[in-house]
Amino acid sequence: MFNSFNARPEILWRQVWGLAALLAAIILSWMAYGFYQPKILQELEFVQLASWLGIVQGLLVAVIEPLIGRLSDRIQQRLGSRLPMIGVGVILSGLIFVTVSLLIEHNLPTGIRWILPVLMTAWVIAMIIFRSPAIALLTQFTPLAALPQANALLVFVLGLVGAIGVMWDTLLYSIGASITFLLGAIALVVGAYILQLFTPTHSFNFSTLNQDKSAQTPSVLLILIFAIGLATGFELNLLLSIFPQELQTQLPGLKVEFIAAEILLVSAIASIALGEWTAELGANKSMLLGLGTMTGLMGLTLLNDNHIIVIGLILAFGVSLSLVLISMIPLILGKIHPSHAGLGTGLYFGGSAGGTAIVSLLMKQIGITSVGAFLLAEVAFLVVFLCIFFSKKIPVV
């Protein structure tokens, strides 16, 4: 099943698998956090904060993550590795998770209950300390031409773990917030340990140690990368927030959670075949093909009234999502100098977090209909198209 993930011997597959283990832990931790955050805040009588904290944190990530990515580049240049920064972030997030798990076991006095939302926000910041640096490691594990196939493995893990996680709400509720957060902390430490174990210092045969430190990435290109992340994150969140409900109305026998899980599962399975093909097609074209197809499928969903076609739409949404996820990191890393890999991934994920926050804000303030989501997705696709078009004309110094 995984032969396609080993077809390129120039990729350091052992290290990529280690990165995939850390990514799986990150996804599981975010899902646990996202499930329990509003419940904990409501129990502490922070009703208004429960609906706003996630939005505020998303906007905060949009600002902080590029700064963290740039810092990781400097650490890479000084120490020759991003692993120390990843280790610090994992330890901090794990400690905060454990602290929260202990605090929620006690009936905190009203006067100090504010400490939990503060710790939750600190946990989000701790998580982004190592997300961009970890993804930036791909530039050291694989040559640029093979990035799509290496990233396909990460997409496989993301889709598989995400699909399972969507269906885990009942399990999470049964084991309780305290145990869930403790398990999340353990998962992060184990994931980081596997990455460290699979990544000895001498294995960096694509190291950035000797890169030209005077290299510069034009500011306009950095803005375009952020905009690509913003628009892509915006459209992906429209897909997973709005259209599973629309598909469920056309096929009532399926639950909304099951439809979302199926889309993620299909994206994982499709990544096995799409990695090599995306490398041949190119990240720019495959990103536009994925987003364009996704937008068109949203329009078809609005016109559909046949429950059999719903199955086809779920499969097609999964394939288009896989194309986008496989393409996004190679697209970004292919547009900047390798010494700025952390900054590039930070800008992309920061923009994506901003897009997620904007979708949540629109849904909270005015609501988004399926038709509105389709029209907004068209705008997002146009933004990505224009950003990719103009980025091709900007040379990297």
Contact of 229 with 63, CB cutoff 8 Å: no
Contact of 238 with 373, CB cutoff 8 Å: yes
Cα–Cα distances (Å) from 170 to 166, 252, 286, in that order, read 10, 21, 37
Contact of 142 with 16, CB cutoff 8 Å: yes
Q: What is the dihedral of CA 203, 281, 261, 198, to 10 degrees?
A: 0
CA atoms within 13 A on the CB side of 214: 0
Cα–Cα distances (Å) from 242 to 45, 320, 370, 375, in that order, read 28, 16, 6, 13
For residue 299, give both structure tokens. Answer: 């329009």
pLDDT at 167 over 80: no
Give the residue, 149 or 169, on which the prediction is more confident.
Answer: 149
What gap in Å lies between CA 389 and CA 125, rounded to an integer?
33
Per-residue pLDDT tens over the stretch 221-259? 889 999 999 999 999 999 998 999 999 988 888 888 889
Cα–Cα nearest to 218, from 328, 347, 327, 77: 347
CB atoms within 10 A of CB 334: 18
For residues 51-57, give the mean pLDDT: 79
What gap in Å lies between CA 157 and CA 208, rounded to an integer?
26
Per-residue pLDDT tens over the stretch 119-160? 888 888 888 888 888 888 888 888 888 888 888 999 999 888
Residue type, 201: T
* DSSP secondary structure letter of residue 3: G
Cα–Cα distances (Å) from 329 to 91, 138, 225, 232, in that order, read 25, 9, 11, 12
Alpha-helical runs (H) found in the chain = 13-43, 47-79, 83-103, 115-136, 138-141, 147-166, 169-175, 177-198, 219-250, 256-281, 283-303, 307-333, 341-365, 370-391
Average pLDDT, the chain: 84
The reported pTM is: 0.87
Look-up of token digits 């110094």? 397
Give the residue, 34 or 209, on which the prediction is more confident.
Answer: 34
What gap in Å lies between CA 235 and CA 230, rounded to an integer?
9
For residue 292, give both structure tokens. Answer: 């364009």
Label residue 145 exposed, middle or buried (CB < 10 Å: 0-12, 13-18, 19+).
middle
pLDDT at 335 over 50: yes
For residues 158-165, give the mean pLDDT: 85
For residue 17, give both structure tokens. Answer: 């698998």
Label residue 9 exposed, middle or buried (CB < 10 Å: 0-12, 13-18, 19+).
exposed
Q: Which domains does the chain have, with CATH numbers?
A: 11-201+214-391 (1.20.1250.20)
Look-up of token digits 């890169």? 211
Query: 205 falls in which pLDDT band (50, 70, 90)?
Result: very low
For residues 301-316, give the mean pLDDT: 90
pLDDT at 210 over 50: no
